[in-house]
Structures are given as C-alpha cells and as structure tokens.
Structure 1
Amino acid sequence: MTVDAVMDITKQALFLIIKVSLPMLLVSLCVGLVVSIFQTVTSIQEQTLTFVPKIICVFLSMILFGNWMMTAILEFMTELWTNFGLYAGG
C-alpha cells in the first residue's frame, strides 16, 4: 500500500465525517443562534437555556438524517472492504 493510497483513503474518510456531521452541526448552530437572539431580546442571562433545545433538535435531526448518514457510511465501508485485497496486497 502506497502513501498516496493511504492519503486518498484518509481524505475520503475526513470528507465523509464532515459530510455526515454537517446536518447536526448546522441544526445546532441555528438553534443556538435563535435561542441567543431570544435571550438578548428578553434580557434572560441563563447560560444553560440553550442546551435542552439544542439536544432535542440534534436528536430530531439524527432521526431525520440518520438513514442518509448510515447509507453514506456503509457505502464507504463497503468500498473499503471491497478493495481490501488491493490495499493489503499492493
């Protein structure tokens, strides 16, 4: 296995991690922004107020995007295992 092959697999894995985690991170960012604006408007200075809405929304986004996320991960793993002979033998 060459250094280029390892770098290619690493690049694909890192891109997959970013692609799969992006929906949850964006939901968390948007909910945090909305709650922060609400806190600013109402002058509530409670630091823990954002946790419960974020957890609920991230959980809902995992339910919504879970099938797509698992499919993307399984496709990557299937590709890796299919080409395992090339990696181990070369």
Structure 2
Amino acid sequence: MSPEVFLDVFSQALKVIVIMVSFIIVPSLLVGLVVAVFQAATSINEQTLSFLPRLLVTLAVVGLGGHFLVEMVMDFTLEMYRRIPEVVG
C-alpha cells in the first residue's frame, strides 16, 4: 500500500468519525450551555437538572439521526471494500 492510499483512507475515516461525533455531541453541548446559563441565573446547583436534558437531547438526536449515521458508516464500509484491490495490490 502506498502512502497516498493510506493517507486517503485515513482522512476519510477521520472525516466520518468527526462528523458522527459532532452530530451527537454538539446538540448536547448546546443544551448543556443553556442549562448552565439558566442555573447560573437562578442559583440552582442541582446536578440532575443539567444531566437529564442533555440525555434526552442525545437520545433524540440518535433516534432521529440514526439513519444518517448508519448510512454514513455503511457507505464508508462499502467504499473500503471497493478499495481492497487498490490497498492490497
């Protein structure tokens, strides 16, 4: 396998990982920020108040966007299977 092929495969894998992680984490971070601002404004220091909305948003994002995430992984996997002759030979 040439270094160019390896770098191409590695960059594609990294791109898929970053998109999948950010697709799930960014909404949770935004909700956590809103809840933290609310807690700071009202002086409420309850830990579960911050945890439950982030959990619900993360579950909703995975439930609604799961098809997109699975499709992305399947496309990447099929592309890797198609590139086996290029990588091996």
- Compute the TM-score of the two structures, normalised by the length of structure 1: 0.90
Aligned-residue sequence identity (percent) comes to: 33
Q: Secondary structure at the match of 2:56?
A: helix
TM-score w.r.t. length of structure 2: 0.91
- 1:78 partner amino acid: L
SS of equivalent to 1:45: coil
Structure 1: segments with no counterpart, 5+ residues: none
Corresponding residue for 1:58? 58
Matches within 5 A, 1:25-64: 25-64=25-64
- How many pairs does the alignment contain? 89
Aligned-partner Cα distance in 2 for 1:86–1:7: 13
- Greater shift in the superposed pair: 39-48 or 76-85: 39-48
For 1:33 and 1:2, the matched residues in 2 are separated by 45
Q: After the TM superposition, which segments of 4 or more aligned residues of structure 1 sit over 6 Å from their partners?
A: none
The yes-or-no answer on 1:70 pairing with 2:70 is yes
Shift of 1:48: 4.2
Deviations 1:17-36 (A, max 9, x none): 11122221111111101110
SS in 2 for 1:75: helix
Please report the RMSD computed on the Cα atoms of aligned residues, expressed in angstroms.
1.2
Distance 2:64 2:40 in 1: 30
Structure 2 gaps, min length 5: none
